[in-house]
Amino acid sequence: MRIVRYSKKALCILLCMLLVMPLYAAAEVPLSEPEASAYILIEKETGTVLAEKNATERRAMASITKLMTTLLIIEDIESGRINLTDNVTASANAAAMGGSQIYLEENEVMDVDTLLKSIFVASANDACVAMAEHLEGSVEAFVERMNNRAQELGLTDTVYKNPHGLDEDGHYSSAQDIATISRMILSHDIARKYTCIWQDQIRDGKFDLTNTNKLVHYYDGITGLKTGSTTKAGSCLSASAKRNGMELIAVVLNSPTSEMRFTDAKKLLDYGFANYQLTTLTTPKEVFSQVPVAYAKETSVELYPEESLTFLQEKLTAKEPTKRVEYYPLTAPVSPGTVAGKLYFEIDGTIIKETNLIVKKEVPKLSFLELFWQFLRML
């Protein structure tokens, strides 16, 4: 048997290689460039842009238009203006719509729930028109409302000409604006009821629905959202997915083919999940501490963060934030919502997030007699 002997130099080289290898393993995962003409990747909670190209370029958006249509429907449901069980009668105008549809017949009656599902899952143009007329009396009035809402949301590169997205001069948006409205849609639980349906049926099982977003069928953590495709817009997609508490939104406009839009969105989502992490620092439900209250029946009161705080970091350089607190003196009576301190999160001495610490319940003041007896006890 031959015994192999290593020199000290060779052992040193081997040791250095072993020490360097983990550094390569922890390196940033590069983005495989999407084929789409314009795209953007954002983190949903903070709105932070993680990747983009031509993100503010105004382009036709096809059926991604329906994100605004469904947002207005959902806002009306949540305000109590309409209910999911309300019946909607299809007009001749709605029944005459082309493109993707559920083939509504004139005077056919469907409830809001069925029409909303048909828009989200099957991208039904006729369902959009039926709902637009039901809500505002005409398509034109509904489109005016769409544009007003776009201005309220700060969508500076978006103009709507119809509620469905079929090609029309002057009807456009941008990847950045679409990402913004996608965030809005995902903030509503009603929307999430429909965005991940892969297959379903309507008309008592006589008509099948299959989601136009194929990522719903196979992408890990998918949460939505909406496809679009016309001659002018090309193949478009706004796709969202959530893993380990972080939700990402990828918007691609004018991908070369229908299949490529899914590949493009997957590239963006994969890149985001591989390189970033979202940490929840605190929530309003967390009891942070108790502080004394002068001249109160209760000697102390619990404090809560005023809002949820999250922090997005690159995985490669992630650091654990530290907490720092300032307390303010409290004297009864104390009302709910009173600010009683400040909570800071810092990394290397730099404040990354901050919020008020508040009281959530009323703390009454001692009566004169109670104060007198307290004084006697102190003596």
**Tell me: the pLDDT tens digits for 279-307?**
999 999 999 888 999 887 778 899 999 99
Give residue 278's pLDDT. Answer: 96
Distance in angstroms (rounded) separating the CA atoms of residues 101 and 94: 10
Report pLDDT digits (tens) over 328-359.
Answer: 999 989 999 999 999 999 999 999 999 999 99
Q: What is the pLDDT of residue 20?
A: 46
DSSP state of 227: E
| Mean pLDDT, range 207-227, rounded to an integer | 97
pLDDT at 297: 77
Contact residues for 281 (Cβ-Cβ < 8 A; gap 6+): 309, 310, 311, 321, 345, 353
Task: Set out the domains of the chain in order of their start, with CATH numbers.
Answer: 38-275 (3.40.710.10), 283-378 (2.60.410.10)
Q: Which of 3-17, 100-114, 331-345 has the lowest mean pLDDT?
A: 3-17
> Does 11 score more than 90 pLDDT?
no
Mapping DSSP to helix (H, G, I), strand (E, B) and coil, where does residue 75 land?
Answer: helix
Q: What residues contact residue 340 under an 8 Å CB cut-off, 6+ apart?
A: 291, 301, 303, 327, 328, 330, 334, 357, 358, 359
Predicted local distance difference test score (pLDDT) of residue 18? 45
* Statement: residue 210 has pLDDT above 50: yes
Contacts of 188 (CB under 8 A, 6+ apart): 71, 74, 75, 78
The C-alpha atoms of residue 354 and residue 377 are separated, in whole angstroms, by 41
Predicted confidence at residue 23, as pLDDT, reads 40
Catalytic residues: 63, 66, 123
Q: Are strands 87-89 and 222-230 parallel, antiparallel or unpaired?
A: unpaired
If DSSP codes are grouped into helix, strand and coil, which group holds residue 47? coil
Average pLDDT, the chain: 91
Residue 76 burial (CB < 10 Å; 0-12/13-18/19+)?
middle
* Spatial separation of the C-alpha atoms in residues 43 and 268, rounded to whole Å: 11
pLDDT, residue 298, reads: 78
Determine contact, residues 239/269, Cβ cutoff 8 Å. Answer: yes
pTM of the model: 0.87
Q: In the 8-state DSSP scheme, what is residue 160?
A: -
